[in-house]
C-alpha cells in the first residue's frame, strides 16, 4: 500500500521552524533562505488543508494542529537520522592499518590516538612504526606517514606539515652554567645530533659561521631519541618543531634562540590513489588535519600555512 505523505522538504521545513519557533533559525539549519522556509511551510499547510502556525508580526506560534503534528514528525526524523548514523558507522567499521615514522608515531600520533578512538570507536587502528615506506600493493597497510618531498610514484601524498628546525633544550640549561644566551654560547654546550640526516652543520653555517668545533657530540638514530635526550638535560637538540610541539607546550623543552631553519623535507600522508575515497581513510585524514592545525596553533609554531587543512 502506497504511503500518502506530503513533500519531504515541506515536512523538514515545518519541523525545523516549529522546533525553533523561527523561520530564520530553521533557514540557517537547513541552509536555505527564510523565504524558502515560508514557502515550504505554506505548501505543507495547503497539502494538509490545515493551519499550522499563527503569525503575528515577528512572533511565530503553533496552532493546536501544529502542536499535535510536531512530536510524531520530530520522532520520525530522529529515527531516520539514527538509522543513517548506524549505517554510516557500519560502513566505517573495521581496521585501518597505518605505517608511520617511529618519531612521528611516538611524539605526535600516539598521544592523540585516544581522541580519534573517541570520535570513531568502530575503526580499529593498527599502527606500525617503520623508517621505510612499505609497498601498499601487498594490502598490508592502508596509509603511511612519511617525511620527504611528497613524490612517491603511484601514491597520493597530502601535505601534513612543513618542518622547521630550531635549537631546543631543557629549561634547566637556561638557568645553569655555562650560560646559554647568545649563539656563541653553543660552543660551551653539548650538541645532540639527529642521524643520519644531521642538520646541525647547515644550521650553524647559516646562523653562526659553521664552526667545525660544534659539529661533534652524541648522535641518535631517531628524532624522538634526540628530543628525549634534550628533555633529560644531556645537551641541545636541533629539534623538529612540529614533533616537539607537545614538549614545548608542556614546558619540557624551550627554544633558547629564535632562529629557525626550514627543512627541505615535510610530513606527508600517503596512500594509493585508488583508496582516496575509502570511508576509513577519509575519516582518519579529516581527523588528522584538524589535529595538526590545532597542534600548530596551540604553541604558535608559525609554520607555513597548509591549505589542505582549510579544505577538510
Instruction: Indicate which CATH number applies to the domain containing 48.
Output: 1.10.10.10
Dmax over Cα atoms in the chain, in whole Å? 91
Domain boundary among 92, 120, 146: 92
3-state class (DSSP) for residue 244: coil
The answer as to whether 155 is a domain residue is yes
Query: 196 preceded by cis ω (within 30°)?
Result: yes
Number of domains within the chain: 3
d(CA 109, CA 101): 10
Percent of all residues in the chain with a pLDDT value above 70, rounded to a whole number? 90
Please check whether residues 168 and 260 belong to one and the same domain.
yes
The size of the chain, in residues, is 312
| C-alpha separations of 158 from 85, 104, 206, 218, 297 in Å | 28, 16, 30, 34, 20
Confidence at residue 306, expressed as pLDDT on a 0 to 100 scale: 47
The answer as to whether 1 is a domain residue is no
In this model, does residue 179 exceed pLDDT 90? no
Return the closest-CA partner of residue 125 out of 99, 156, 104, 146: 99
* Cell numbers that stand for 150 in this block: 611528497
Please check whether residues 204 and 171 belong to one and the same domain.
yes
Between 303 and 281, residue with greater pLDDT: 281
Domain boundary among 58, 92, 126: 92
On average, the pLDDT of the chain sits at: 86
Please check whether residues 76 and 211 belong to one and the same domain.
no
Between 208 and 256, residue with greater pLDDT: 256
User: Tens digits of per-residue pLDDT, 100-158?
Assistant: 999 999 999 999 999 999 999 989 999 999 888 877 877 889 999 999 999 998 899 99
Please check whether residues 139 and 283 belong to one and the same domain.
yes
The answer as to whether 2 is a domain residue is no
The answer as to whether 26 is a domain residue is yes
Please check whether residues 176 and 248 belong to one and the same domain.
yes
Return the closest-CA partner of residue 188 out of 225, 213, 210, 220: 213
Please check whether residues 273 and 153 belong to one and the same domain.
yes
- DSSP 8-state symbol, 263: E
**R_g of the chain, CA atoms, integer Å:** 28
User: Which pLDDT band holds residue 209 (cuts at 50, 70, 90)?
Assistant: low
The answer as to whether 185 is a domain residue is yes
Instruction: Indicate which CATH number applies to the domain containing 203.
Output: 3.40.190.10
The DSSP code sequence of 127-174 is EEE-SSPPPGGGSS-SEEEEEESS--TTEEEEEEEEEEEEEEB-HHHH
- DSSP 8-state symbol, 134: P
- DSSP 8-state symbol, 6: -
Please check whether residues 211 and 293 belong to one and the same domain.
no
Burial readout 227-254 (b: 16 or more C-beta within 10 A, e: otherwise) = bbbbbeebbbbbbbbbbbbbbbeeebbb
Q: What mean pLDDT do residues 19-41 have?
A: 90
| C-alpha separations of 309 from 67, 189, 274, 286, 304 in Å | 44, 39, 22, 8, 12
Please check whether residues 88 and 53 belong to one and the same domain.
yes
Host domain of residue 40: 8-92
- CA angle 96/99/100 to nearest 5° reads 125
Domain boundary among 92, 114, 135: 92
Write down the pTM of the prediction.
0.66
Please check whether residues 179 and 256 belong to one and the same domain.
yes
Please check whether residues 252 and 208 belong to one and the same domain.
yes
User: What number of other Cβ atoms are within 10 A of residue 293's Cβ?
Assistant: 18
The answer as to whether 137 is a domain residue is yes
d(CA 222, CA 292): 21
**Cell match 650538541: residue?**
191
Do the beta carbons of residue 189 and residue 235 sit within 8 Å? yes
Q: CA 235: distance to chain centroid?
A: 32
Q: Going by DSSP bridges, is the β-strand pair 53-56/59-62 parallel, antiparallel, or unpaired?
A: antiparallel
Q: What mean pLDDT do residues 186-213 have?
A: 81
Identify the bridge partners of residue 162 per DSSP, sorted by sequence position. 266
Q: What mean pLDDT do residues 248-262 have?
A: 91
User: Which pLDDT band holds residue 214 (cuts at 50, 70, 90)?
Assistant: low
Please check whether residues 168 and 240 belong to one and the same domain.
yes
d(CA 99, CA 103): 12
Q: CA 30: distance to chain centroid?
A: 26
The answer as to whether 86 is a domain residue is yes
Identify the bridge partners of residue 143 per DSSP, sorted by sequence position. 98
User: Tens digits of per-residue pLDDT, 81-104?
Assistant: 777 766 666 677 789 999 999 999
User: What number of other Cβ atoms are within 10 A of residue 108's Cβ?
Assistant: 26
Please check whether residues 249 and 284 belong to one and the same domain.
no
- Give the phi and the psi of residue 143 in degrees, each rounded to 5: -145, 160
The answer as to whether 133 is a domain residue is yes
**Cell match 523561520: residue?**
23
In this model, does residue 13 exceed pLDDT 80? yes
Amino acid at each position: 500500500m502506497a504511503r500518502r505523505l506530503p513533500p519531504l522538504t515541506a515536512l523538514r521545513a515545518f519541523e525545523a521552524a516549529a522546533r525553533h519557533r523561527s523561520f530564520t533559525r530553521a533557514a540557517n539549519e537547513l541552509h536555505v533562505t527564510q523565504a524558502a522556509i515560508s514557502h515550504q511551510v505554506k505548501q505543507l499547510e495547503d497539502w494538509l488543508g490545515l493551519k499550522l502556525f499563527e503569525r503575528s508580526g515577528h512572533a511565530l506560534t503553533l496552532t493546536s494542529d501544529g502542536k499535535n503534528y510536531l512530536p510524531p514528525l520530530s520522532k520520525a526524523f530522529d529515527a531516520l537520522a539514527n538509522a543513517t548514523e548506524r549505517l554510516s558507522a557500519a560502513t566505517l567499521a573495521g581496521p585501518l592499518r597505518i605505517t608511520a615514522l617511529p618519531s612521528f608515531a611516538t611524539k605526535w600520533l600516539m598521544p592523540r590516538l585516544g581522541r580519534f578512538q573517541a570520535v570513531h570507536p568502530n575503526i580499529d587502528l593498527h599502527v606500525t612504526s617503520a623508517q621505510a615506506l612499505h609497498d601498499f600493493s601487498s594490502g598490508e597497510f592502508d596509509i603511511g606517514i612519511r617525511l620527504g618531498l611528497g613524490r612517491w610514484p603511484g601514491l597520493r601524498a597530502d601535505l601534513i606539515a612543513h618542518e622547521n628546525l630550531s635549537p631546543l633544550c631543557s629549561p634547566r640549561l637556561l638557568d645553569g652554567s655555562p650560560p646559554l644566551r647568545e649563539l656563541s654560547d653553543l660552543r660551551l654546550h653539548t650538541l645532540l645530533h639527529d642521524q643520519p640526516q644531521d642538520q646541525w652543520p647547515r644550521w650553524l653555517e647559516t646562523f653562526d659561521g659553521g664552526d667545525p668545533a660544534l659539529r661533534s657530540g652524541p648522535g641518535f638514530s631517531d628524532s624522538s631519541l634526540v628530543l628525549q635526550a634534550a628533555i633529560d638535560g644531556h645537551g641541545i637538540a636541533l629539534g623538529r618543531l612540529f614533533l616537539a610541539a607537545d614538549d614545548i607546550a608542556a614546558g619540557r623543552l624551550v627554544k633558547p634562540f629564535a632562529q629557525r631553519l626550514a627543512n627541505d623535507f615535510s610530513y606527508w600522508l600517503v596512500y594509493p590513489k585508488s583508496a582516496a575515497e575509502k570511508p576509513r581513510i577519509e575519516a582518519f585524514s579529516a581527523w588528522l588535519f584538524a589535529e595538526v592545525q590545532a597542534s600548530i596553533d596551540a604553541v604558535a609554531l608559525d609554520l607555513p600555512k597548509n591549505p589542505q587543512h582549510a579544505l577538510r
